[in-house]
Amino acid sequence: MSKKKVLVVGGAGYIGSHTSLLLAERGYEPIVFDNLSNGHAEFVKWGPLEQGDIRDRKRLDEVFATHKPDAVLHFAALIEVGESVKNPVAFYDNNVIGALTLLSAAMDAGVQAFVFSSTCATYGLPERVPMDETHGQAPINPYGRTKFIIEQALKDYGTYKGLRSVMLRYFNAAGADFEGRIGEWHTPETHAIPLAIEAALGRRQGFKVFGSDYDTRDGTCVRDYIHVLDLADAHVRAVDYLLNGGETVELNLGTGTGTTVKELLNAISEVSGKPFPVEYVGRRDGDSTSLVANNDKAKAVLGWEPKYTLEDIIRSAWSWHSKANFHLQ
């Protein structure tokens, strides 16, 4: 029996590559489509790489015709919140026009199963914590709004065109493959765990904490960190769910446990055995006090359960970053 094929759009990036790894382990063939603007050809190890841009309809049609995928996973987005405020045009161009172009190509190719990499940023400022999927959606930056627009489109395409989709709202993705084959590699790096690890490794001048006067247990922001392999597991389960006839649904992906920035930095010092300088500065615009997922729905719909702890996240990230030499390039 031939393997079912999944087109992993943005599969050379951080979460896409870890998902390709698990797809291959579970008997699927991942076909990676990526323009390599933020992804890395070295991360495409479990299936073919097709280079191209999601705004290029002709190229998309060629890839769909060649591979005839059974499902599509869409990761190819610009994700840096601060950048979305500086350059909203690029975010609407890629995250909205690109995603809609991809959706049209997928539907014209007869694909009816679509997994969308969304975000808790569609919720905006939390009215209650933990947040479940019934929480109002009022994004406070262009990044969150571009993801929200595509969620609306997916619901309409489901109602009127029969496309079935799973919208996965991530909280804070972190960690790396435990065997060190792939990990987090962003240029520039903006995520807290890699930045703190780089500080502990002496590759950057300490770590900046934005805001120490929040209404939390130690004054710093609270976030829900989830291991990238737990995220990847949910994506593969979402493909299984849709290919078995599952209906359109939106699901939070988080652990349900919040960690403050101070707690995170202490844990990194402990795991690494290397203290590093920390500077407390003023709050950043648009940072929420606390973002923690209620993940009951993902557990019920996908039978998914996050397996890894904060210590697992930090250990796997430490192992990856201390061995990786991309910082020298």
Q: Which residues are catalytic?
A: 143
| Structure token digits, residue 133 | 């999927």
Q: What torsion do the CA atoms of 311, 177, 22, 328 make, to the nearest 10 degrees?
A: 140
R_g of the chain, CA atoms, integer Å: 19
| Structure token digits, residue 20 | 């390709």
Three-state SS annotation for 56-68? CHHHHHHHHHHHC
Torsional class of 162: left (φ above 0), alpha (ψ -120 to 50), beta (otherwise): left
Place of tokens 């446990």: 257
Place of tokens 């995250």: 95
Which of 274, 271, 277 lies closest to 319 in space, CA to CA?
271
Residues 6+ apart with CB under 8 A from 241: 166, 301, 302
**Residue 229 Cα to chain centre, angstroms:** 11
Query: From residue 236, how far is each of 30, 59, 217, 261 by CA, in Å?
Result: 11, 25, 36, 30
Measured CA to CA, the distance from residue 139 to residue 284 in angstroms comes to 16
